[in-house]
Every structure is written in structure tokens, then in C-alpha cells.
Amino acid sequence: MITALMRIIILCVLLMPQLVLAKDNLRINLDNVPVQYYASDNRELSFIQVKRLAPEQWLSAEQFTPYGLIERHYWLKLSVELPPHSQSQPLYLEIDNPLVDRLDIYIVKEDSVKSYIAGDSVATNLRPIATPTMFFPLPKTQGSSIEVYIKYQDEAASVIPLAITNSTESFESVHNHGVFTGIICGVILIMILATISLHYREKQPVYLYFLGFMLFGGLSILSLEGIGSIFLWGNLPWIQNLIMPPLFLLTAWCAIKLTKYLASVALAEYSNYNKTFKWLAHSILICSAILFALPTFIAVIISVVLLIAVLLLMLSLLAILHRKTKDIHPLLLGAWFAFIVSLLLKASYYSGLISMPTIVISLASGVYSLQFILWGALVLRALIQQKEQAYDKQAFALEECQEQLEQARYELEQHEEDQQTMEAIVDERTFELNVTLRELQETNRQLEEQATNDALTGVKNRKFFDQRLLAEYRLSRRQQTPLSLLLLDADKFKLVNDTHGHLAGDQVLIKIAQIASRILKRPNDYVCRYGGEEFAILLSNTDQTGACKVAEVIRQKIADTVIKTEAIDLQVTVSIGVSTLFIDAQTGDSQLFEQADQALYHAKESGRNNIKTFQEFQDSVNQ
């Protein structure tokens, strides 16, 4: 009893700030406030000019349909009676439509005028408050009236839900809505990563369609809820109207492709439906590309009309197929139904066709998000069915193998003596073959070493270098790791040959190859004699800094080493060119070598006995 009482007291203490805050909360919807409008006929009028208009030039807002706002720019005027409120809690004019292109707000209180701009075509840093729902601070007055002038500019959305609030509840609602949308986008992101993993393992196009569906659908959610224009492209507001119409069509295109895969059994029996799905997919893809070149108003109208028509047609076709074949899963119908219902509700509300409570719009957003879960469940179900079919095939094959094994055992029992003799013969022949095979393997190993090793220095030769370079290219491209190449050339080697003979020159080359090979520690790093006194060193998964360190150790070690020849003790130096690349599809087969060769040339020109990178070569050319 005491424990229960303590819990109640603690709960009351925790809720007390919320109760006090709720007592001071204020929210007044301005749906019933008379609104007047003036159509500017596409003429740019300043606020001063509009304020001087005669009263008879203003018309009642009830005299026009919402579609008029799509074609022209309007000025709206309303008078608002401000209620008494606490000075510590300022009042805000709230407009809960994140898709309005631009609103210029002028708040007139006696002789003072406050102006603000907002909308999804306005950069985030220019808005009074960076939230999808637009808030405009009102003057701090007690129970007086103000006049609000709104310059409305929009090419698609038309509804302007007005309200006055003095509570943080509205901001918390916006925050909670953003958190909800963030959770949905987080779920979508997790599903995207899982789909990428599945596609990498299974290599099936259905996962690419599902990946595109979630990507385009997730971006469409962010655009529709106004979050994209705040957090993603806030300083590039033109992106919002450019990408939003095609996003929904691309989402529908991916959904049709997914439907063809998920309903493949039913479509196999009705080729006409399969052709219809294919035709719809091609048409939507072409239209989505065309929308990028159209004005926003036309693009929105075309995308909404086309999308609703396609969604209704797809839902009807799937319902007919389900009735005929019973092979269409109810979740697939539910996913398409959620798509069309949420889109109709959102389009109807933002276009001003239907007035809806805020909870219905939030429900529409939830339904639109729900379809991603439904599509994910459908794809997962298809994957499970595919695995089950594969397991059934394996089980059937295993049963056949067992039957064949039993038959083989029976035959072996019938011919046991012959089999023993045959086994002895086979063992003898196998032993002979194994001996011969080992001899061949040893011979092949020796031949391979002779074919890939340089006869003079013992390091890898030019042929091995060419083959290994291609292999390292593929490895770097696949793993996105850096690949480095060192080109090493003995300085004034011709003078060594001319002065001390070719035998001394050969001994110098052998010593250089031995030093470089001893310095390389990793098994996948190779020293190759490229030709004459030039050596190529391949360093896989090594950036430019690491490659330069290796090159400097080699250069310093060679410079410090006294090479003993039959004729004389020599000290030689080398110049090294370094090139590092992240290999991709556009990298040429010889690009890495050419850059290293240019760096080596720069090292020679810079006085020899040094190391130069390709970047240093470019800098010298630019100078």
C-alpha cells in the first residue's frame, strides 16, 4: 500500500510541470476567421501598394475555388484578435503546409510592420524558424488585434491551414513528427542495407527493384513532409519542386517491377496482364524522365493524375488476378491499397480539395510508411519460398542419390571378388599416376619459376609484372583499396658498364634486386625487373605515404651499401618514381605505370638519388 502511494506521489511530481504547461497552452485555429484575397494577375505588387488598395478591391475568400491559387499569385488579408497571454510565452502564427512554395508574411500592429518569408522554395537560413511547419512570431501585445497580409506564391499546393499558438506543444508536435519520420527513414535505411547484402549474395534483380523502391519512396516521404527542404537541400530549395514529381513515379515503377516478380506465378498463366504490367512500367519510366523538363505546375498535375490512374489500374488488375488464380497474396493487395489511399489523402488535402483533421493527414503519412513494411514482408516471404524450393530440390536430389547408392551397394555385393581385383589394379594405377603427377607438378613449378623469374637477378620478370598488375587492378577496384607502384632506376648505370664492364654492371643489378627484396616484408609485394637497370615494385593496399616510406628505405639502403665486384668496390644510387591510385572502372590499364614513369623522369631531372611522386611531377609541370 505504501509502495503504491509512493508511486502515485512520484508520478504526480513528474507530471506537475506538464500539467502547469498544459494550463498555459493556447491554440486557436483560424478556419472561421474571414479571409479576403486579391489576385495580382501576375503583376508584382509591393506590400505598400497592396496595403493602399481600396476595400472594394478585396474579395471574400469564399468566392474562389482552391484551383485558382494554382494559376495566379494572391494576396490574402485577415484580421486576428490576439487573446491575452503570458509575456514569457510569445505568440506564433502557424501555417501547417510544408509544400507551399513561398509565403511573404506582413504582420501589421498599429504603425509597426514585421515581415517574414518561408516556403519550400526559400532557403532554410532565410526562414524565421527552420521547421517543416511554418511559424511566424507575433507582436507581444495583450488582447489587441493585428492585420496579417500573406503574399501567396505556389505552383501546386494551395491549402493554407492557419492557427495561433503560444505553447511549445506545437514545436514538440513538429519535433515528434520529425522523430517519427526519422524512425521510418531509419527502418528504410536498415532495409536498404539488408537488401544490398541480399543482392550481393543472391545476385537477383528483384533486390535492385526493392532497393530503388525504398530509396525513391524514402526520398518522397522526406519531400512530402517538408523534411528534405529543411535538412537535405535547405540551401538548394529548387531541388524540392524538381525531384518530387518524378520521385513518386519512380517509386511506382519499382513497385510494378516488384509486383511482376511477386506475382510471377499468376502472370505466367495470363500473358496479357504481364504485357500490361510491362507497358505500364515503360510508360511510367518515360514520363518520369520527361517530368524533369516540365514546369513544376504541369509536372505535379501530370504526376498526380498519372500516378493515381496507374495505382488504381494496378490495384484493379491484381484484384482480378487474385479472384481468378488465388495466387496473389493479400499483403500485395494491401501494399498497393496503402499506396493509393495515402496518396489520395495527401493530394486531396494539400490541393485544398478536401478539408481534413490533422490526425487524418498524420494517419495518411503512417499508411504511406506502412507500405514499406508490407513490401519488405513480401520480398522476405518470396526469399523464404525460394529457399524452401531450393531445399526441396536438394532433398529430392539427395533421395535420388541415396537410391543410386543402394543400387550401387547391391551391385558391389554381387561382384565383390571382381571389385577387389579391380581395386587392386586401380590402386596400382593410382599410385603410378600420383607419382607421375607429383613429377609433373614439380616440373611445372620449375618451369613456372623459370618463366616468371629474371635469369640474372632472381626477382620476378616483366611477364610476371604485367600479369600481376592486372590482378592488383581487379583487387583494388573490388576492395576500393589504394595500389602503389615504385619505378626504380639505377643512376648513371651506363657509365658503370662503360667504365667497369658489363660483369660489374650485372653484379650491381643483382645487389640492387637483393636489397629491395629484403626490405619488402609482405608476401604480396613484388620486386620485378622491368628491363635493363629499371625495376618495378608493386605494393598492394598501400597509400602514397606508405609507398614513399618504403621507397626511401630502399633508396637509402642502396646508397649506403658498398657493392663488391671483381673489378672494384662501387657505391651506386637510384632514383624512384612513386604513383598511387584507387582503381575504378575509368582507370586505364597503363595509367598507374605511366604516372610512375613520369614521376621517375621527374626524379632523374631533379638531380637523381631521390624520390618523386606523380603529384610532385604535376606540380612542377603546373609551375
Catalytic residue numbers read: 533
CA distance 57 to 61: 12
Is the distance from CB of 468 to CB of 537 less than 8 angstroms? no
By C-alpha distance, which of 248, 213, 97, 225 is closest to 158? 97
At residue 225, what are phi and psi to the nearest 5 degrees? -85, 0
Burial pattern 94-132, b for ≥16 Cβ within 10 A else e, equals bbbbbbbbbbbbbbbbeeeeeebbbbbbbebeebbeebb
CA distance 95 to 136: 9
Question: H-helix or E-strand containing 534?
Answer: strand 534-540
Parallel/antiparallel/unpaired status of strands 35-39 and 74-81 = antiparallel
3-state secondary structure of 425: helix
CA distance 16 to 10: 10
End-to-end CA distance of the chain: 87
CA distance 172 to 169: 5
Q: Which amino acid is at 567?
A: A
| Residue 88 burial class via C-beta count within 10 angstroms: exposed 0-12, middle 13-18, buried 19 and up | exposed
Is the distance from CB of 307 to CB of 288 less than 8 angstroms? no
Give Cβ neighbours of residue 495 (< 8 Å, ≥ 6 apart). none
Which cell goes with 325? 488464380
Kindly list the strands in the beta sheet with 134-137, ordered across the sheet, starting from the edge strand earlier in the chain. 27-29, 162-165, 92-95, 134-137
Region of 561 (left: φ > 0; alpha: ψ -120 to 50; beta: rest) is beta
Alpha carbon distances (Å) from 175 to 182, 219, 312: 10, 19, 34
Is the distance from CB of 177 to CB of 222 less than 8 angstroms? no
At residue 589, what are phi and psi to the nearest 5 degrees? -65, -30
Give Cβ neighbours of residue 424 (< 8 Å, ≥ 6 apart). none
